[in-house]
Structure 1
Amino acid sequence: MHVRHLSLASFRSYDRAELPLVPGVTTLVGENGQGKTNLVEAIGYVATLASHRVATDAPLVKFGADQAIIRCAVVRDTREQLVELEINPGRANRARLGRAAQTRPRDVLGTLRTVLFAPEDLSLVKGDPGTRRRFVDDLLVARQPRWAGVRGDYERIVKQRNALLKSAAPVLRRGNRGASRPRRPDQEPVDEARASALHTLDVWNSHLSQVGSQLLYARLRILRDLGPHLAQAYAQVSDGAGEARVRYESSLHEGAAARIAGGDVPEPAELAELMLESLERLRAQEVERGVGLVGPHRDDIVLTLGELPAKGYASHGESWSFALGLKLAAYRLLRADLDDDPVLILDDVFAELDSGRRERLAAMIGDCEQVIITAAVGEDVPKSLGGQTFWVKDGEVVPG
């Protein structure tokens, strides 16, 4: 798989941009702030429908424009498909595949698969759990696009359930406090409201456990598959300096969480039961706090280097190697699963690596079908990679 051509209109700093690409290595060279990352961000957006830099679409549209357009010609097994995305802040985005309009933008997922590593990915090691959860869920979708629907359904359930907890918490708390007191004349309406809120909460608990158990099961499976690739990739990048591992830290009750942390992968039906049990155990706390405390949205992926957690203990260089190892492991997992190379994007990576890590990374990616690299200084990229070069300056992309 490779990108043959990228075309942009009103995307980020570009009024228009055309970037012809070929298999092998392409290096985009230019000073910071000239638009290199905007180009690879657009390619990543085609693959994931999200930016690796911002959480919303609005910053992707050039100031003063109403919309941004990305067109990307993708070649797979000699067959070419054109993906067209129309980014409309405040309105629904639109997508075309081969000139045919798609019902939903996510219907184009899977046409292009990328693995993108950027300086922001250091947060995989040093950042909060949400960053690591997003990495695993993005990998799930890249592996099987249908998980985008499950992920979206789960996020909606969590949002609506949290809204219920927040709005119903006062009623539920009043009901709890009044349970041991003599009935007042006005107690019956409170009891009815409490019963209604509890019933509604039970319904949302059922939805959360059914969809959440699917997402949790998929995460556990993919982390089990990712582990060996991570250990190998980190060893290669760091030249054997430590063992990188990953384990899942669940918000389920203690017994279930211990099983999962030990590498057990229960079936979805059992996970749904365990989730319901955990929700019941923490109901009083959820009502008191007005927020959900159980489910995949409360979980973490723990990264360890040797016997210690990487977060807080790994050096800056070790953290970089770990984050890079995670992305290379994702690349190898997708390559093995799909029997096809994703497009590997390295955004301003080589500047952060010492000469030894640069050369080891170059050796690891030499056989990838397509690699797109950005660099402020061309000399940072090992000469052994070769390939074509473009210079990026003031919104212009010029062959080197």
Structure 2
Amino acid sequence: MYVRDLDVRDFRSWPELNVQLGPGITLFVGRNGFGKTNIVEAIGYTAHLSSHRVSHDAPLVRQGADSARVSITAVNQGRELTTHLLIKPHAANQAQINRTRLRSPRELLGVVKTVLFSPEDLALVRGEPAGRRAYLDSIIASRTPRLAGVKADYDKVLKQRNALLKSASGSLRRGYSDSDGAAALATLDTWDAQLSRLGAQVIAARLALVDALLDHIPAAYSGLAPESRPAHVEYKSTIDTSDREVLEAVLLTELAAARQREIERGISLVGPHRDDLVLNLGDQPAKGFASHGETWSYAIALRLAEFNLLRQEGGSDPVLILDDVFAELDAKRRKQLVHLAAEAEQVLITAAVDEDLPGNLEPIVRYRVSVEDTETGRISKLSAEDSAEDLAQDAAEEGEGNE
């Protein structure tokens, strides 16, 4: 798979951008803050309907604009599809494939597939469980787009259930002896049934994905850090997952057991929103026990495993995006990523200066990202590069900016 055409309007620092791309390696070079990451973020947002940098849409829309638009033409095994995504910070987003308006932007999932490496990936190892859950759910949506809808429905039910636990706390405590309490408990029973049905599907999908990654992650990690302890992962749930055929019943039972505690605390304590992907090195968790090099190796291994799984199952490569990642890596890990990049159908790379890049990386196309001051603020601009001299100039400017 590769992106043939990217067209954006009012996306972050870009009032407009149209760039034609192709298979192979494309490099976007520019000083920090000039907008190079915004280019690949637009592609990643179309693929996952989320940003790797922010948790909501408002920052994606250029200051002063009402909305942002991202259109992408993707080629997958000779078949072309064009997606159109209208991003509205204060209203529902809208989406099209070719000329067909979609009922939900979620119907875009699967048209463009990407795997993105970025410095933020360190949080997969060092950060909180929410980041690791998002890692799993993003891959699930790429493999089976329908399940993205299940997860979205689960989140809606969870929000409503938590609102009930908080707003009707007094009535719920009084119980069935009070008419308001009886009504609140009946509503809670309804939310419990829906949460169990949807939550069981989310947990089952995550367990199936972890099974699929069990070999990929250790293999990728050992290739990056053969001298380190072996890596292995496990899914840690708030419920017993040993019998996957009865997950819904088990989740409903656990919700009943936790009901009094949930009423007292005003929050849902059981379900996939409380689960975690535990990353281990040898007999210890990677979080808190891994060195900086081991942490980077683990983060890269998670992305390598994702790429290899999607490639294996999809019949074509996802678009590989390397966003400002080489500057954070040592020579060995840079070499491993270059090896992967050489095999992928399309690779998009961002870098601040040429010195951040491995010497054996050979981009097919280079673009320079710059900025221009206007009456409405600074805007990003893109120009093709014809030679490496421009990159040397960037390096000199970067040095001057750091003095």
TM-score, normalised via structure 2 length: 0.90
Paired with 2:82 and 2:90, the residues of 1 have a C-alpha distance of 25
Please state if 1:195 is matched with 2:182. yes
CA contact (8 A) 1:234 1:240 kept: no
Aligned to 2:401: none
Aligned partner of residue 340 in structure 1, secondary structure: coil
Paired with 1:358 and 1:52, the residues of 2 have a C-alpha distance of 21
Paired with 2:234 and 2:80, the residues of 1 have a C-alpha distance of 39
Task: Decide whether aligned partners of structure 1 residues 340 and 62 sit closer, same or farther in structure 2, where only a CA change above 3 A counts.
Answer: same
Aligned partner of residue 164 in structure 2, secondary structure: helix
Please state if 1:383 is matched with 2:359. yes
Aligned to 1:279: 255
CA contact (8 A) 1:124 1:131 kept: yes
Paired with 1:197 and 1:81, the residues of 2 have a C-alpha distance of 48
CA contact (8 A) 1:115 1:344 kept: yes
The correspondence for 2:221, drawn from 231, 234, 242, is: 234
Aligned to 1:181: none
Shift of 1:215: 0.6
Aligned partner of residue 282 in structure 1, secondary structure: helix
Shift of 1:67: 1.3
Shift of 1:192: 2.5
Matches within 5 A, 1:78-227: 78-175=78-175, 190-227=177-214
Q: Aligned AA for 1:393?
A: S
Structural RMSD (CA): 1.4
Paired with 2:201 and 2:255, the residues of 1 have a C-alpha distance of 16
The correspondence for 1:396, drawn from 377, 381, 392, is: 381
5+ residue gaps, structure 1, are 176-187
Paired with 2:224 and 2:352, the residues of 1 have a C-alpha distance of 22
CA contact (8 A) 1:29 1:392 kept: yes
Paired with 1:197 and 1:16, the residues of 2 have a C-alpha distance of 51
Paired with 2:117 and 2:131, the residues of 1 have a C-alpha distance of 14
Aligned to 1:12: 12
Q: Aligned AA for 1:247?
A: E
Paired with 2:248 and 2:61, the residues of 1 have a C-alpha distance of 41
Q: For 1:238-270, what per-residue CA distance to the aligned partner results, in whole angstroms no more than 9, with x for missing partners?
A: 244221211111112xxx2xxx4xxx4x33x41
5+ residue gaps, structure 2, are 372-379, 386-403
CA contact (8 A) 1:18 1:397 kept: no
Please state if 1:352 is matched with 2:339. no
Q: For 1:338-375, what per-residue CA distance to the aligned partner results, in whole angstroms no more than 9, with x for missing partners?
A: 11110011111110011121112212331111111111
Paired with 1:92 and 1:9, the residues of 2 have a C-alpha distance of 18
TM-score, normalised via structure 1 length: 0.91
Please state if 1:327 is matched with 2:303. yes
Aligned partner of residue 385 in structure 1, secondary structure: coil
Aligned to 1:270: 246
Q: Aligned AA for 2:303?
A: K
Q: Percent identity?
A: 48
Paired with 1:66 and 1:194, the residues of 2 have a C-alpha distance of 44
Aligned to 2:26: 26
Paired with 1:141 and 1:239, the residues of 2 have a C-alpha distance of 31
Range with greater deviation from structure 2 (98-107 or 377-386)? 377-386
Q: Aligned AA for 2:238?
A: S
Please state if 1:367 is matched with 2:343. yes
Q: How many residue pairs end up in the alignment?
A: 376
Q: Aligned AA for 1:232?
A: A
Aligned to 1:180: none
Aligned partner of residue 215 in structure 2, secondary structure: helix
Aligned partner of residue 323 in structure 1, secondary structure: helix
Aligned partner of residue 297 in structure 2, secondary structure: helix
Shift of 1:281: 1.3
Q: For 1:139-189, what per-residue CA distance to the aligned partner results, in whole angstroms no more than 9, with x for missing partners?
A: 1001111011101110011011111111222123234xxxxxxxxxxxx9x
Paired with 1:239 and 1:63, the residues of 2 have a C-alpha distance of 47
Q: For 1:314-347, what per-residue CA distance to the aligned partner results, in whole angstroms no more than 9, with x for missing partners?
A: 1122111111110110111111111111001111
Deviating beyond 4 angstroms after TM superposition, the runs of 4 or more aligned structure 1 residues are none
Aligned to 2:393: none
Paired with 1:399 and 1:383, the residues of 2 have a C-alpha distance of 21
Paired with 1:237 and 1:27, the residues of 2 have a C-alpha distance of 24
Aligned partner of residue 249 in structure 2, secondary structure: helix
Range with greater deviation from structure 2 (231-240 or 302-311)? 231-240
Paired with 1:335 and 1:245, the residues of 2 have a C-alpha distance of 21
Paired with 1:192 and 1:57, the residues of 2 have a C-alpha distance of 42
Paired with 1:296 and 1:149, the residues of 2 have a C-alpha distance of 15
Q: Aligned AA for 1:215?
A: V
Q: Aligned AA for 1:219?
A: R
Paired with 2:353 and 2:31, the residues of 1 have a C-alpha distance of 7
Shift of 1:107: 1.2
Q: Aligned AA for 2:159?
A: K
Task: Decide whether aligned partners of structure 1 residues 240 and 147 sit closer, same or farther in structure 2, where only a CA change above 3 A counts.
Answer: farther
Aligned partner of residue 111 in structure 2, secondary structure: coil
Q: Aligned AA for 1:376?
A: A
Shift of 1:65: 1.1
